[in-house]
Copies of this chain bind each other. A is one copy, B any other.
């Protein structure tokens, strides 16, 4: 597979995972179909759009690949057929896992695009984190709540940051581009899954005694 193909697969996977998280959150807020579509759309494309705007890339990735937009439309239109399955206890777990996949996929996609655009490592890591997290942050802002990733004290953005650092590090020591990306994605998504399963907690900030 070529680099372009890998990027495409990454973006499709991440897009679907994040659109689903937006869709489920919008339904929970009892929005109408327009709200559900808008929040799903922003969750899926928000991070990548901000990355493209900050890096001044045009056309935007969802303009160049319209299939993504159709995918999200299909996801929303078919929601009544499969959403019931996600009710009850399953909902939380499904959203966690979709989020973890999107997290890893989007982070490495953002970091690799920024890196290919000549950005230094620090900026590439930040772009990876922004790509991964900004869709979810926008989703929560539109749903009128403090972004979950800012206060739940469970590692999320940090997993993306570590994954991006691993990807860039592997690349820097000569590992092939494709393998570096796979390793980075697995690191970010895997760390997030482990964090959820084992209930890892970040300390409050600043550290408090007593």
Contact = CB atoms under 8 A, between A and B. Distances in A.
Contacts of A54: 49, 53, 60
A157 B31 CA distance: 13
A150 B202 contact: no
Contacts of A30: 151, 204
A190 interface: no
A126 interface: yes
Copies of this protein, total: 3
Interface of A is mostly: helix
Contact of A206 (B27, B55, B150): B27
Interface in A4-52: 26-27, 29-36, 38-39, 49
17 contacts: A26-B150, A29-B151, A30-B151, A31-B146, A31-B150, A32-B205, A33-B202, A33-B205, A38-B133, A38-B147, A38-B157, A53-B53, A54-B60, A56-B58, A80-B206, A83-B206, A143-B146
Interface of A: 26-27, 29-36, 38-39, 49, 53-56, 58, 60, 63, 66, 69-70, 76, 79-80, 83-84, 119-120, 122-123, 126, 133, 137, 141-147, 149-153, 155-158, 202-207
